[in-house]
Structure 1
Amino acid sequence: MPGPTFPSRSPLSRRNAMVASIAALAGAGAAVAAAAPANASPSRTASVSGSASTDPGPVLSSFNVISDIQGDLGDFGRALDDMSSTNPRSTGLVVNGDITPRGYDFEYAAVRKTLDEHPHAGQVHWGIGNHEFYVPKYKDPNTLNQAAWPNGTTEASLFNSFYKFTGRDQVYTEISLGGVPGLILGTEKYMKYHDASKWDEVWLSDAQLAWLRERLAFWAARGKPVMVFSHHPLPDTVSGTRNKLYSADYLQADRLLGILGPYPNVFLFSSHTHWALTLADWEVRRTVPGSGNLLGFQVFNTGAIETLYTDNGTGGERALDRLENTGLQVSVYPDQVRISARDFRRKQWLKEAWIPLV
């Protein structure tokens, strides 16, 4: 399946660049890495020097990732139309959380209606985001009343609305993206119900973490790359995650990092920040000290359907034009993965990264 065209770029040689890096790192820096603080660094992209292959082989799977619709159904429709044009044989679409603005059943229904009115991948997969838990801020759909939170809304009803919409009975699940395994994560508590000092922080059960550990080991043993989807970002990864607004989204960040850390062929897609895909750190390698994986795992920011943001220079953020509308196309080849950032508003490719598999 043909993908986006970037005349100045070519894919990395199949495994050479990463394997060489592993050998060099293992020989020169293993002891230092074990004691070093966790860090994120730009990943190896198509512009890396070295031998290059102009033929990465057949596309095994090509799918799309978007997030943060949040009621912007016009931009959602435009994104669906554009993805259908650029990836007509898509093996799936992942909507990585914030499906709705607040989590009302009629808002889920409006998303479904928009989906049905536009061409889209045959398989659509949904993650849960913080906006799926905002009904309790309202006395009724037209009356914000945060002082009376939760305004009679139960935590169970919010999860049930998500389950009804997705046809699932839990927030985390395994999916197939044209034969490529995907693992969708999600909070199992809305923390405000459990701790008055908290709001949108992510809580994962021991069962979800054990499931993630087992599925990553299962697919690694079979030589498969694994796509992991989390609405909330992990600290010290992609754009915005060193900003105080997004540095502590996960209550069990260290445990989650410890599970992901050993796997160089894990691709984590996170959303929530809405930070622009034009930023340099839209994709990084995240290393975890003590994991035994000196190259780390790959992390991507998914952009957003509703409004984009960037740094304001003072530790906060500023909004860009509300019409900005972006997402990702992911193409999996035998020995590498290409991730292309798409501007749905202007119907333009923004950038791409070629990530070799180990």
Structure 2
Amino acid sequence: MHSPSTPAARRRRGATAVGALAVSGALLLSPGLTAASAAPANAAQANASQANAAQADAVAAAASQLTLADTTFAVGDSITAEYATDRPTDRNWVAVYPASAETPCSGCGFAWDYAPGESGSVSIPLNDRSGDPLPAGDYRLEYLYDDGWTRVGEPVSFTIEGDVAVPDPEQSQPGDPAAPVEIDPVATDVSTDGVIHREGFSVEGAPEGWTVESETDAGDYSAWTFTTRADWTGEIDEMRGRFARPLGVLAVADAQQSGGALDTTLTSAPVSVDGLASARLTFDSHYRGAAGQSGVVSVSFDGGASSEILRLDSESVADDYDARQMNYAQDVVVEVPEDAEEAVFSWQFTADEGARYWAIDSVAVHEVLKATEARPTQAWVMSDIQGHPADFEHALGDYSEIAPEADGMLLVGDIVNSGTSGEWQEIYDVMDATADIRPRQTVAANGNHERYAPGGFDANMERFFAFAEREQPWAEYVIEGPAGDLPVIVLGQEFGSPTDVAMSDEQVAFFEERLAHWTALDKQVVVMTHFPLGDTVSASWIPGYHGHHQMNDRLTSILGNYPNAILFTGHTHYPADLGDWAVQRRTDDGHPDGFRAINTIAMHIEWDARGENTAGISEVTTRDINQGLTLDSYGDRVVVTAYDFATDEQLRQVEIANPLVAFDADVRPAPENPDPENPDPGTPEPENPEPEAPGNPGGGSGDTGDAENPAADDETAAGDLATTGADLPWGLGLAAGALVLGGLGLALRARRNA
């Protein structure tokens, strides 16, 4: 999970760690190495510890101090400090930070050790997070309180002197994060992407043909307002900053900032739906509910009466905070009346004084993708096992029942807890024990936990490479199955520093070339890397997540040109029921639909954010979990389904159409032998559809939601997308799947191109 600079991260990595090492404080380059000592005694303690993160600038206790015998050290030295305090705890700690970090924060420090009791000393190696010596420069030693970021005493500054090692010209070096991305976005149109109309917003006012009406007197936020994320959160945050989907300008209805009751409606321009049997409305949505507040989406056809297709209110959404409705993508399918030519959509926000807000962006109207009966190329997808071989083996057993004919297994990092040989042997033992039920091909990415064992970055990576059966962090694989080839591109940390995922220009060039190659072949491409990119999946709206990838902006810009790219990332351990479990990430200069990003959840410990404001946000452990995904590739779409292996439940499902191949739209059939002299023969009666098993999509191209919590999904029967088989019990779904798959007898093939 988080970078190894804080004890709070230690809890994430190993609150129930198996086989964790006990080492001296001088070797504590990673919290994952002594996880047991950092586990909170109870949830309240965890919450209290994390809450301290928002108090980093609190006044230090006058009777607490750090003392250094010297303030100048050589590259490769250790630093020894004496400490004393009148606020002793077993989890006070001392950490090395760069002088440029104004306050202690998660992910921005280096080596650390606990400083228990009223007084004592600590000795800490002056190394970065991967065990390499820190370069010459100015640094600071922080004395912090109880696994949090509150200062116990004032920090002490020191300097590291010495020559930086001269890079070996024969060795690859970290690349240039600011290198220009010169890629033309992939060209698509309605015949391949199924998008009839897209609409963004401008601060200049409503788009052409759109209208805003309000029953409220003029004033700030007295109606739907077009603003930027920065301006909207300038006066007050209160979870507004979590809306990370908007590209630039968003539309906001904000009763809290209007200062009174609010009743305002945003209405679209007419959109052609001629010839369609159904249409699909999608938009980015950030809704925080309150008593006396509602958000209603309606549609009218050809100037007729409006029909409600989505309602957000106290009956369907939890007041004050509903995890599903924050940073979400609403996805509503509506039946189009016969002979209808145009549709107009409206968003009405009604709220009493003191209520909350609703923000939207990236409105699009789509054709609806017909269901498919094809047999998919399948993969199991999982991450963050973190030294829990029993959970891993349990999950593989469940996978073998859910998708027994899967063609590949994708491990998206943090397979082990620290990277020791013993931990890897536990994974090998599980792999051997499940050889008869696993897919024949395994694809692995390295995470942060693979590099924490003593011996340095290179030694740890060698053990990962032995498991992955390759010689470098990046690679290309092809998973072959019934629906054709599924290309998988793996990216990973190549160097011990300067960030968690430092990459060479060579790795980025490889990524660009192979992504372009598969795009030219009209393929959807799976990209897997352990750390999320900023402003993609859950938790990545937190500013610190933008810095894990050295190439964060460069990679985001590359991916933004490819709407056929699907990025799988782990690391955050955030719940699958959050609104941003799966997102559509757009970029300024890329394709208007951007790329998809999906959180691979975790097989060990769930985390979530706490706090009203993005600045000073804290993160807490919530429970132990064992969860993962399946991926079904049909050629014209990919379906990703999230499962909980501990409770035997299906959690979420999202369908992503391939925007590079012909879009099989749900259109009204043309009459046979049309004759203007004879009466209209009418529309043929639809055939009775067969029940569908989970993973066999029934049309649409969005998130099918949560069968256990319909109030958290896109509401109303007309607009509910949970009609693709996602609501079927596992047993019924698996039985149906077995009937379909049982007699096909297709030989599995697998190959890898490194």
Q: TM-score range by the shorter chain?
A: 0.7 to 0.9
Residue of structure 2 in register with 1:85 after alignment? 401
Q: Partners in 1 of 2:456 and 2:369 — Cα distance?
A: 55
Aligned-partner SS, 1:95: strand
| CA shift for structure 1 position 190 | 1.8
Q: Of 245, 252, 263, which residue of structure 2 is paired with 1:40?
A: 245
What letter matches 2:644 in structure 1? D
Q: Partners in 2 of 1:316 and 1:248 — Cα distance?
A: 17
Q: Of 520, 537, 542, which residue of structure 2 is paired with 1:221?
A: 520
Q: Partners in 2 of 1:58 and 1:113 — Cα distance?
A: 35
Residue of structure 2 in register with 1:145 after alignment? none
Which digits, 9 at most, give the CA deviation of each residue in 1:238-274, with x for residues without a partner? 1010124523211111111121110001000010011
What letter matches 2:549 in structure 1? Y
Residue of structure 1 in register with 2:438 after alignment? 120
Residue of structure 1 in register with 2:619 after alignment? 317
Aligned-partner SS, 1:202: coil
| CA shift for structure 1 position 320 | 2.1
Aligned-partner SS, 2:517: helix
Residue of structure 1 in register with 2:634 after alignment? 333
Residue of structure 1 in register with 2:475 after alignment? 173
Residue of structure 2 in register with 1:206 after alignment? 505
Which digits, 9 at most, give the CA deviation of each residue in 1:92-119, with x for residues without a partner? 1101001110011221111010122123
What RMSD over aligned residues (CA atoms) do the two structures have, in Å?
2.6
Aligned-partner SS, 2:399: helix
| CA shift for structure 1 position 167 | 1.6
| CA shift for structure 1 position 16 | 7.0
Contact 1:39-1:286 at 8 Å conserved across structures: no
Aligned-partner SS, 1:99: coil
Q: Of 245, 265, 268, which residue of structure 1 is paired with 2:567?
A: 268
Q: Of 632, 645, 650, which residue of structure 2 is paired with 1:344?
A: 645
Q: Is 2:281 the partner of 1:106?
A: no
| CA shift for structure 1 position 53 | 5.3
What is the TM-score when the length of structure 1 is the normalising length?
A: 0.81
Q: Partners in 2 of 1:342 and 1:98 — Cα distance?
A: 19
What letter matches 1:90 in structure 2? A
Q: Of 283, 296, 301, which residue of structure 1 is paired with 2:599?
A: 301
What letter matches 1:331 in structure 2? D
Q: Partners in 2 of 1:333 and 1:207 — Cα distance?
A: 32
Q: Is 2:458 the partner of 1:156?
A: yes
Q: Partners in 2 of 1:301 and 1:228 — Cα distance?
A: 12
In 2 relative to 1, CA 19–253 (structure 1 residues): closer, same or farther, beyond 3 Å?
Answer: same
Q: Partners in 2 of 1:25 and 1:46 — Cα distance?
A: 15
| CA shift for structure 1 position 155 | 2.5
| CA shift for structure 1 position 317 | 1.5
Contact 1:57-1:334 at 8 Å conserved across structures: no
Q: Is 2:431 the partner of 1:257?
A: no
In 2 relative to 1, CA 46–122 (structure 1 residues): closer, same or farther, beyond 3 Å?
Answer: farther
5+ long unaligned stretches in structure 1: 1-14, 137-152
Residue of structure 2 in register with 1:62 after alignment? 378
Q: Partners in 1 of 2:559 and 2:550 — Cα distance?
A: 16
What letter matches 2:198 in structure 1? A
Q: Partners in 2 of 1:105 and 1:345 — Cα distance?
A: 28
Contact 1:44-1:354 at 8 Å conserved across structures: no
| CA shift for structure 1 position 175 | 0.9
Residue of structure 1 in register with 2:387 after alignment? 71
Q: Partners in 2 of 1:171 and 1:241 — Cα distance?
A: 23
Q: Partners in 1 of 2:656 and 2:467 — Cα distance?
A: 34
Q: Partners in 2 of 1:275 and 1:213 — Cα distance?
A: 29
Identity percentage of aligned residues: 31
Residue of structure 1 in register with 2:194 after alignment? 19
Aligned residues: 313
Q: Of 129, 132, 137, which residue of structure 1 is paired with 2:450?
A: 132
Which digits, 9 at most, give the CA deviation of each residue in 1:121-169, with x for residues without a partner? 1111111000011113xxxxxxxxxxxxxxxx23221121111222210
Q: Which has the larger radius of gyration?
A: 2
Aligned-partner SS, 1:355: strand
Residue of structure 1 in register with 2:123 after alignment? none
Q: Which runs of 4+ in 1 moved over 3 A?
A: 15-18, 23-26, 36-39, 41-54
Aligned-partner SS, 1:318: strand
Q: Partners in 1 of 2:519 and 2:401 — Cα distance?
A: 33
Q: Partners in 1 of 2:544 and 2:425 — Cα distance?
A: 31
Question: Whose helix fraction is larger, Structure 1's or Structure 2's?
Answer: 1
| CA shift for structure 1 position 57 | 3.7
Q: Is 2:302 the partner of 1:97?
A: no
Contact 2:538-2:574 at 8 Å conserved across structures: yes
- Which 10-residue stretch deviates more, 276-285 or 305-314? 305-314
